[in-house]
């Protein structure tokens, strides 16, 4: 926890305490990654891309929260990954578009799914 930046640590606590919409975002991502993983060949690693704008649209359908913004979603995704003790570069990486938007790419395999499920 000491190596995670302060704003992100706050989000880790919100997820662990099951506060909406932060926990809902993490749960949504987890179910989506599990579904994609099941569709692939036996235990093969896939790279799941998280686009915060699409996540925002999906979560708004489920939880009509005023706290939803792309910044909150980006921080929640990072908190979920860091809180699950995933390693940046080894387990996930972040890309930035020319417009400044970020996408998160997570290597989904049995190990990463187990780590993330422990976070929830």
CATH class of 6-119: mainly alpha
- Per-residue pLDDT reduced to its tens digit, 22-41: 999 999 999 999 998 888 76
pTM of the model: 0.90
pLDDT at 42 over 80: no
Give how far the C-alpha of residue 64 lies from the chain's centroid of Cα atoms, to the nearest Å.
Answer: 19
If one compares 51 and 39, the residue with the highest pLDDT of the two is 51
Domain boundaries, the chain: 6-119
Side-chain-side CA neighbours of 50 within 13 Å: the count stands at 28
Helices (H) and strands (E) in the chain, counts: 5, 3
Q: What are the tens digits of pLDDT across the range 57-107?
A: 999 888 876 778 899 999 999 999 999 999 999 999 999 988 889 999 999
SS (H, E, C) 60-118: HHHCCCCCCCHHHHHHHHHHHHHHCCCCECCCEEEEECCCCCEEEEEEECHHHHHHHHH
Task: Using the predicted structure, report yes or no on whether residue 43 has a pLDDT greater than 70.
Answer: no
Would you say residue 14 has pLDDT above 90?
Answer: yes
Q: What is the rounded distance in angstroms from the CA atom of residue 1 to the CA atom of residue 3?
A: 5
Distance from C-alpha of 22 to C-alpha of 11, rounded to nearest angstrom: 7
| Residue 32 neighbours by CB under 8 Å, 6+ apart | 48
């Amino acid at each position: 926890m000491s190596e995670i930046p302060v704003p992100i640590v706050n989000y880790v606590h919100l997820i662990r305490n099951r506060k909406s919409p932060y926990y809902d975002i993490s749960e949504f991502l987890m179910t989506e990654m599990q579904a994609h993983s099941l569709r692939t060949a036996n235990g093969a690693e896939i790279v799941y891309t998280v686009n915060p704008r699409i996540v925002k649209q999906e979560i708004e359908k489920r939880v009509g929260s005023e706290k939803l913004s792309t910044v909150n979603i980006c921080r929640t995704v990072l908190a979920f990954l860091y809180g699950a003790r995933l390693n940046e570069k080894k387990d996930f990486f972040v890309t930035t578009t020319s417009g400044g938007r970020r996408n998160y790419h997570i290597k989904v395999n049995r190990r990463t799914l187990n780590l993330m499920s422990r976070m929830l």
